[in-house]
Structure 1
C-alpha cells in the first residue's frame, strides 16, 4: 500500500486524528499521561492509537530522560515524514519563518540556526550520550543522520537535506542555518562541539558534520 494511503488510513479514525493534531500543535513532546488527561481515554486506548500513528510514520516515539524511580516514559513527536502533510508545518515553511525572523533581528544564518537549535532542543532521553542526542536532534529536523566513527571525534552524515531546493538557490545562507542548527543543539546538549560542516550536493545530500565529544557525563 502506498505510504500516503497508509497515513490517510491511520488518520481516518476521528479520535486518532485529534491525537495526531494535539501532538503536532504541542510545544514539545507529548506522553501517554498528558494525552490521557487531554482526551479522557484510558492509557491502553491512547497507547493503541499512538502505535498506529508510529506504524504509519506519522509520529516518532522516543524514551524521555529518566526522572526518579520507575521506567522512563515514552514521548512522541510528529515524524519528519508527516511534515507538509495533514496540516503540519513543513521544512520550507519553517525555513521561511526563520529567515523572516533573521531579517528582523539582523542575525547571520549561523546565529539564526544556533538560536533555533537551542530553542527547539528536546532531550533524546534514555541512555543516549551527547553524539546520539545530537543525531536525534538532526533527525527531528529531517536530516536522516548516521553516526560514523568512534572515540572523541566522530562524524554525522546527513542522509537527507530538508531544504535541498533552497540550498541550490542560496547555499551559503541555508548551509549556514544547517551548521547553526547543529551548533545550537550541541550547546543545549553539552559535552559535544560541532567543529565543521562539509557540504555536498543537496540533491544527493550526505553532508558531513564533524563533531568532538568533550564530556560523557
Structure 2
C-alpha cells in the first residue's frame, strides 16, 4: 500500500479499523469472523491500533459466570472512547503549535479561537506522522492532502477514505474543540483529496472575528 497512516499500512488493519468504527465494543470473535484472520493476528493488529491511539480496549462487565471478554472500540474522543495515548499526543501538539506561533508570528490576528487552532495542530501532526503533507486553509477550513496516495487503490479506496475520515474526526474530537470533518470535496481527479472541516454551532465555535 502507498504512504498513509502507518498504523493502518496494511489493509487488514484498515478492515479492522473500519469494523470498530462501524460498531463499538467488538470482541475478538466478531473481528475474526468478519475478517477471516487468525485470532492472534487480529490481536496483533489491534495492539498496533491501540498503540497509535486509534482504538481503545475495555474489559466486559459481566453479571453471569464466565471469563469477561475484551471489547474494542474506535477512539472517538468521547468519554467512553477516549484514548490516553491520543490525549497525550494532542496536548503535546498544542504546546508545540503555541510555541511555533510565538516564535514565528504571522503578524495577523488568528481567525480561529485557540481550541480550534489546537485541533489543527493535532491534526497536522497526526497526518504528518502518517506520511501526508497536509496544507491547511484556516479561512476555508480545508485540509488539502493532494495527491492522494490511495488514488490507484480502486478496490479498497472507499473503505480507506471512510477510515481516514473517521481517524481525522477522532483526532479533532480528542483535541476538544469546535472543528469536525464534513467530508471530502467532490472531484473528477482521483488524486485530488481536499477534506472540508466545519465549525460546530456552539459558543466555542465562534471565531475571534465573529465575536468582535
Higher relative contact order, chain-length normalized (CA < 8 Å, sep 6+): 2
Shorter-chain TM-score: what band?
0.3 to 0.5
